[in-house]
Amino acid sequence: MEHRILGIDENGLGPLLGPLVVTGTLLKYQISDNRWFKDITDSKLFFKTRNRAHFALIEETVISIFYVCKKRKPKSPAEIFKVFCRQSECSQTINICTNSIPSEFLWADPEKSKKRCLEFSEWVVKNNIVIENLQCIFICPMQFNTFTVKNTKLFLDFRAFCTIINGVKQKESLHVDAGKIGGLKFYLPYLRYVMTNYEAEVVSEKDNASVYILANKEVRIAIGFFMDVEKYSFPAALSSIIGKYIRELSMFSIRRNLNIKEDISGYYDRKTKQYINNVNLGKLPTECVFRKN
C-alpha cells in the first residue's frame, strides 16, 4: 500500500535574531512502517554543541537530500537555498539575511559528502521511498515583526504550516506529521479559520499529540501535531535538518553583514546577547534585524 506522509517542522520560532524557517518534506512510501536512514535525527541534537563535526554532518546530509531530489549534487549552499526556499521580497536596500549566503560549502568533507549521497540514494531506492516534494518557507525578522504587531508568532507559524500543506499536490489521501506549535494543545479553531476548503474534526487532543481529520469531496488529510515530532517521524526529522541548515546559512549571512566575527546562534545565549548589545546596524532599522517576541 502506498503512503504519502508530509513531515513539517519549524526552526527559529523564538530567537533574538534571524529568520523563522518552516519546512515540509513529503515522502511517498511503498511500505507500512516508518524507516529511518542512519544519523538522521532531531536537528537540535546535530547542533547541541555547535562544533564543526556536527556542522559537517548536517551539511553533508542536506547535500545528500538535494542529490536524491535533483539527481545531482548541488553546486553551492546558495543553490540549495534557492531551490528549496520560498522567500518573500526584502523591502531593504541590502538583504542581510541572504545576500551573503556562501557560494562554497563551509563544513562538508567532499569525500564524506560523496559517500553519503550514494548511500542515501541507494537507501531510498532499496526502501521504495520517493521524496515527492520539499519546500521551506523563509520568514525574515521584518516580516515576522510586521505580522506579530497584530497577531501572535504561533499563528504565523501555523499559517506557514498550512501553506506547506496547501502547496502539496493533493490526491485522495495525505498524512501530515507536524511539530507542536509552542506547546499548543487545541488546533481546531485555527484549522477551521485557515483551512476553509475542508471540514475539520477532532480525533484526539492530548498534551503530547493533537490529531485531526480534514476532508472534502476529493481529499482526506489526517494531521497530527506532535511533541518532539523529529523523534517520531522520519520526514519531519528531514524537515528539521533542512530547516536548521537553511537558518544557519542565513545566520552566516547576517553575521557577515553585521561584521560579527563570533559564531553567535541568534538564540538567548550569553554570546548572542553580548554581541547584539554592541552591534552597529548602520542605516538598517532594528526591526530588520532583531525579533520582537
Residue 156: is its pLDDT beyond 90?
yes
Q: How many domains does the chain have?
A: 1
Is the residue at 80 inside a domain?
Answer: yes
pLDDT tens digits, 205-240: 999 999 999 999 889 999 999 999 988 889 999 999
Mean pLDDT of 172-200: 94
- What is the predicted pLDDT for the residue at 42? 53
Report pLDDT for 44: 62
Which range marks the domain in which residue 44 is found?
10-172+230-288
The chain-wide mean pLDDT, for the chain, equals 89
Write the pLDDT tens digit of every residue in 113-122: 999 999 999 9
Would you say residue 15 lies in a domain? Answer: yes
**How many CA atoms lie within 13 Å of 255's alpha carbon, on the beta-carbon side?**
17
Task: Return the CA Rg of the chain.
Answer: 19
In this structure, what C-alpha cell is assigned to residue 152? 501572535
> Taking residues 123-129, what's their average pLDDT?
90
Q: How far are the Cα atoms of 21, 80, 109, 139 from residue 64, in angstroms, in the given order?
A: 20, 11, 12, 25
In one-letter notation, the amino acid at residue 262 is E
More confident residue, 293 or 145: 145
Q: Where are the beta strands (DSSP E) in 149-239?
A: 173-179, 199-205, 209-215, 220-226
- Does a structural domain hold residue 197? no
Chain centroid offset of residue 70 CA: 19
Is 92 domain-assigned?
yes
pLDDT of residue 261: 86
Q: Is residue 108 part of a domain?
A: yes
Residue 273 pLDDT > 90: no
Tell me the pairing of strands 3-11 and 199-205.
Answer: unpaired
Contact in structure between 194 and 165 (CB atoms under 8 Å): no
Reported confidence tier of residue 274, pLDDT bands at 50, 70, 90? confident
Q: How far is residue 62's CA from residue 108's CA, in Å, rounded to a whole number?
A: 10
CATH number (domain holding residue 39): 3.30.420
How many other C-beta atoms lie within 10 A of the C-beta of residue 269? Answer: 13
For the residues 267-273, what does the mean pLDDT come to?
84
Give the contacts of 208 (CB within 8 A, at least 6 positions apart). Answer: 226, 227
| pLDDT digit string, tens, across residues 99-111 | 999 999 999 999 9
Helix (H), strand (E) at residue 119: helix 110-126
pLDDT at residue 154 greater than cutoff 70: yes
Grid look-up 545565549 returns 269
Region for 165 from its dihedrals, namely left if φ exceeds 0, alpha if ψ lies in -120 to 50, beta otherwise: alpha
Q: Which position has the higher pLDDT, 290 or 22?
A: 22
- Interacting residues of 81 by C-beta distance below 8 A, sequence separation 6+: 98, 101, 246, 249
Neighbours of 110 (CB within 10 A): 11
State mean pLDDT over 31-53: 67
- C-alpha to C-alpha distance for 201 and 184, rounded to whole angstroms: 17
The pTM of the full predicted model, rounded to 2 decimals, is 0.93
Read off the pLDDT band of 90 (50, 70, 90): confident
Residue 29 has what pLDDT?
81
Of the pLDDT bands very low, low, confident and very high (cuts 50, 70, 90), residue 22 is: very high
Is the model's pLDDT at 204 over the cut of 80? Answer: yes
3-class SS at 117?
helix
> For residue 166, is it within any domain?
yes
Residue type, 103: S
Residue 246 placed within a domain? yes
263 has a pLDDT exceeding 70? yes
- On whether residue 214 sits in a domain, the answer given is no
Angle, CA 147 vertex, CA 146 and CA 151 arms, to 5°:
130
Helix (H, G, I), strand (E, B) or coil at 48: coil
